[in-house]
Structures are given as structure tokens and as C-alpha cells.
Amino acid sequence: MTDAIATQRLRVEPTALQAEAIQLAATAIREGKLVAFPTETVYGLGANAFDATAIARIFAAKGRPFSNPLIVHLATVEHLATVTSEIPDLAQRLLAQFAPGPLTLVLPRHPRVPAIVSAGLSTIAVRIPDHPIAHALLVASDVPIAAPSANRSNYPSPTTADHVVDDLWGRIDIVLDGGATPIGVESTVVDLTTNVPRLLRPGSVSLEQLLTVVPSLDLTLHRVTNSDTSPTASPGMFLKHYAPQAQVLLFQGDRPAVLAHMQARASDLVQSGQRLGLLVTDEDADQFSFLTSQPTVMIAHLGTSKDFTTIAQRLFAALRELDRWGADLILMRAVDPHGLGLAIYDRLFRAAAGQIIQCDS
Ligand code: TXA
Ligand code: MG
């Protein structure tokens, strides 16, 4: 697909759900067009999940490999049977607890859903988004909507309509602008088609919450993200993902040792003429004040380290902002991988292509 489509950007107030914009977008979906819309996690790039031609256009617009399957979004839990061939009891229990919301389940795919949606797999990833605009679009279009994150492939997910416009203008039909997405990192993905249920991607439904319903959950990913070993074999779980153009250096270890290493590395990089981005929490910001007068340094603030909610909301926008400024490298200290922190840690780990600089005193 070339940049030949007249993209329309339509502002929707989450309180005005009968808006003409929703009707236009729903009609577009039914006509096989591509509509970007906000969800509670990140913006999705949607098409009718039953329309293989429309789905192929999603892959083309994003530059996404056909080997990476899509998530299908549904208006309610009752719609599950339209796209899955079997709904295990565990799925019902998880959805009773977490739907609508940022939890994606991998289940057996119903043959009426074209295989291209799932990259040829016999499974399908489904979720029921908890966002009034996503919900209104699903209801008005009356079809399941397959939607990956609405970014160019391998770029950080979009958390505002501006991000979608930056990546996909001229390549998609409509952007529904519903403001910034409330969570900011993508949904938790759990595979229920394996013998033991398996976490494929940490998200804002935390490991701790999942374990209350699925004590046997396979946490292989947890081990992978906390060491330097290779990625899991799951589709889409490649290490180099969610990455900005700049090289990300992720530091981990005792706080004083990490800060000392980061200060030394930052000084070296500035001296060698590199444009340096720093992603810092409020608690660490003072440690880098010696660099603030440097024109080749840009510091992005994530808020207090005690508030993962705000860090998750700001993370992708901050990475994009540093990229746009032209950072060659971005330095950041890893967060604690607990609760929502695990999802943040995972995105940083991938942005750093799985390289962690371990610092201990
Ligand atoms: O929060 C989200 O999940 C956002 C919003 C738009 O809903 N969507 C999203 O989609 O992040 P995407 O395509 O960027 O990520 C989907 C992930 C990928 O890692 C993909 O490999 C995995 O889900 N996935 C999809 N279908 C799968 C399947 N059948 N089996 C295993 N993994 C699957
Ligand atoms: Mg994505």
C-alpha cells in the first residue's frame, strides 16, 4: 500500500457516543476499511475480522510480517462464540474477573475467522476492550474487529491520536481521536490452548492478579525477561520490539551503583558528540542535573518511581519524543518488575533488544 489514502481524523468525546464519527467509522469497518481507535491500553488499527482482504490491508499499512497474529476485539463476552470454537471454563472465570479490560486470551479459532487473522495458527487471540469509544465502535459495526496496535511495525505503540497520525497518515482510512489512552501499555496476553496456561505478554492485568485465578500459570516469560536468555518461541514475542530508532541502554542493579554507571556513561557519550536521551523518574532526576545545560542532552520525565500507573501512561510517548528530537541513545534505569512494573520492565527490555547492563556495587 502506498501513501495514497485520504485519511480522516475525527475527534470523538467519550461522552458523545452516538456521534456521527462513530457511525462513519462503523460503516467504514463494514466496507472493509481501516479505522484506528482508542482502547484503554493503546490505539488499535481495526478492520472487520471476517474480511480477509481488509485484514491483509492492516499488515500492509503497518509493515507487519504476516507471521505475527492479530488480536480480535469483541463488544461483550457473549460474542466470544462468534470467533472461537471452544470456550474453556478457565476462560469464563478469567473473563468474569477481568472483562471488559486489558486481558487477551488465546483460544481455539473458529474456522469462520479467516486464518490470516491468526497468521495461519489454529488459535485466536481475543479481548473485550474497556473503553467507551472502542465499545461504541464494536456495537455500531456489529462485527468483531481485529486490531493490532496502530503503529508502524516494531515502533512503540501509540497512546495518542497524534502518534497514529505520525505513523499511519495516508495509509489508513479513519483515525478516531479520543485523546490519550488511560493505561499506556498493551494488554496482558495469556495462552489457554497449551496444556498449562501460559503468560505470553505481561500487561496491566498483573501476574499477581492472574495467579489468583490461574495458580498453575506458566511464567516462562517472567524468567526470560529477568535474564539475558533468548526470547520465547511465541509469535510476536521477539526481543527487539516496541523499539524507538535510538539505541536504548537499560541499567539494572543497586540504585547507587546504577546511577554512578549511568552518570559516567552519559558523560562519555556527551563528550563523544552523541545526542543523548535520558528517561528518568522524579527521584533520579537530580542525579542528572549536571547535564541539563548540554544542548545534546534531552531529559524526559516519567513521574515518581512509586507510581507505575503514570510511568506506563508516559513511557511510549516519552520514547517517541526522544526519537523525534533525534536521540542517538536513550539511557534508563530498569523499574522493579512487580505489578504493572513487570509490563513496564518488559517493554523496556524489548526496547533495549534484551540487553541489560547489570551494575552492582
Ligand atoms: O492492548 C492491546 O492488546 C492492543 C490493543 C489495540 O488492543 N493490541 C495489541 O496488538 O497490542 P498487537 O498486535 O500489537 O499485539 C498482539 C500480541 C502479539 O504479541 C501477538 O503475537 C500476540 O498478541 N498474539 C496474537 N494472536 C496470537 C495467537 N493466536 N497466539 C499467540 N499470540 C498471539
Ligand atoms: Mg503491537
For atom 31 of ligand 1, which residue has the closest CA? 235
- Asked if pLDDT for residue 232 goes beyond 70, the answer is no
Q: Which ligand is nearest to the CA of 121?
A: 1
What's the pLDDT band for 224 if we cut at 50, 70, 90?
A: very low
- For 81, the grid coordinates are 462464540
Q: Under a CB-based contact definition with an 8 Å cutoff, are residues 91 and 77 in contact?
A: no
Say if ligand 1 is within 6 A of residue 5 CB: no
| Spacing, Cα 39 to ligand 2 middle (Å) | 13
pLDDT score for 346: 93
For atom 12 of ligand 1, which residue has the closest CA? 148
pLDDT score for 353: 87
* SS3 labels along 219-280: CHHHHHHCCCCCCCCCCCCCCCCCCCCCEEEEEEECHHHHHHHHHHHHHHHHHCCCCEEEEE
In the chain, % of residues over pLDDT 90: 86
| Spacing, Cα 149 to ligand 2 middle (Å) | 4
What's the pLDDT band for 240 if we cut at 50, 70, 90?
A: low
Whole-model pTM: value is: 0.94
| Spacing, Cα 129 to ligand 1 middle (Å) | 13
Say if ligand 1 is within 6 A of residue 232 CB: no
What type of residue sits at position 294? Q
For atom 13 of ligand 1, which residue has the closest CA? 148
Please tell me the distance from the alpha carbon of residue 349 to that of residue 134, in angstroms, as a whole number: 29
String of DSSP letters for 180-208 = S-SS-SPPEEEE-SSSS-EEEE--SS-HH
Pairing of strands 297-301, 276-280: parallel
* Residues counted in the chain: 361
For atom 15 of ligand 1, which residue has the closest CA? 148
Say if ligand 1 is within 6 A of residue 71 CB: yes
What's the pLDDT band for 223 if we cut at 50, 70, 90?
A: very low
Please tell me the distance from the alpha carbon of residue 50 to that of residue 114, in angstroms, as a whole number: 6
Q: Which ligand is nearest to the CA of 237?
A: 1
Looking at every residue in the chain, the average pLDDT score rounds to 92
Say if ligand 1 is within 6 A of residue 101 CB: no
Q: How many CB atoms lie within 10 A of CB 292?
A: 11
Q: State how far the alpha carbon of 164 is from the alpha carbons of 9, 42, 61, 178, 222, in Å.
A: 10, 10, 12, 12, 30
| Spacing, Cα 244 to ligand 2 middle (Å) | 13
| Spacing, Cα 235 to ligand 1 middle (Å) | 9
Q: Average of pLDDT values for 222-246?
A: 51
String of DSSP letters for 90-101 = HHHHHHHHH-SS
pLDDT tens digits for 59-108? 999 999 999 999 999 999 999 999 999 999 999 999 999 999 999 999 99
Q: Under a CB-based contact definition with an 8 Å cutoff, are residues 116 and 146 in contact?
A: no
- For 233, the grid coordinates are 518461541
What's the pLDDT band for 3 if we cut at 50, 70, 90?
A: low
- Asked if pLDDT for residue 247 goes beyond 90, the answer is yes
- Asked if pLDDT for residue 43 goes beyond 90, the answer is yes
Please tell me the distance from the alpha carbon of residue 321 to that of residue 286, in angstroms, as a whole number: 21
CA 235 to ligand 1: nearest atom: 21
pLDDT tens digits for 296-342? 999 999 999 999 999 999 999 999 999 999 999 999 999 999 999 99
pLDDT score for 225: 41
- Asked if pLDDT for residue 1 goes beyond 60, the answer is no
| Spacing, Cα 343 to ligand 1 middle (Å) | 14
Please tell me the distance from the alpha carbon of residue 158 to that of residue 112, in angstroms, as a whole number: 30
CA 40 to ligand 1: nearest atom: 1
- For 178, the grid coordinates are 479520543
Please tell me the distance from the alpha carbon of residue 318 to that of residue 315, in angstroms, as a whole number: 5
Give the gyration radius of the chain's Cα atoms: 20
* SS3 labels along 310-330: HHHHHHHHHHHHHHHHCCCEE
Say if ligand 1 is within 6 A of residue 235 CB: yes
pLDDT score for 237: 58
Q: Under a CB-based contact definition with an 8 Å cutoff, are residues 241 and 233 in contact?
A: no
What's the pLDDT band for 2 if we cut at 50, 70, 90?
A: low
CA 43 to ligand 1: nearest atom: 6
What's the pLDDT band for 186 if we cut at 50, 70, 90?
A: very high
Q: Which residue has the higher pLDDT, 132 or 154?
A: 132
**CA 54 from centroid of its chain's CA atoms:** 22
Say if ligand 1 is within 6 A of residue 48 CB: no
The dihedrals phi and psi of 151, each to the nearest 5 degrees, come to -120, 165
Say if ligand 1 is within 6 A of residue 217 CB: no
60 by DSSP, 3-state: which? helix
pLDDT tens digits for 269-301? 999 999 999 999 999 999 999 999 999 999 999
Of the ranges 3-12, 168-177, 283-292, which one carries the lowest mean pLDDT score?
3-12
76 by DSSP, 3-state: which? coil
CA 124 to ligand 1: nearest atom: 29
String of DSSP letters for 102-169 = SEEEEEEBPTTS-GGGGTT-SEEEEE----HHHHHHHHHH-S-EE--BSSSTTSPPPSSHHHHHHHHT
What's the pLDDT band for 239 if we cut at 50, 70, 90?
A: low
Residue 84, Ramachandran bin (φ over 0: left; ψ between -120 and 50: alpha; else beta): beta
| Spacing, Cα 13 to ligand 2 middle (Å) | 25
Question: Peptide bond before 100: cis, by omega within 30 degrees of 0?
Answer: yes
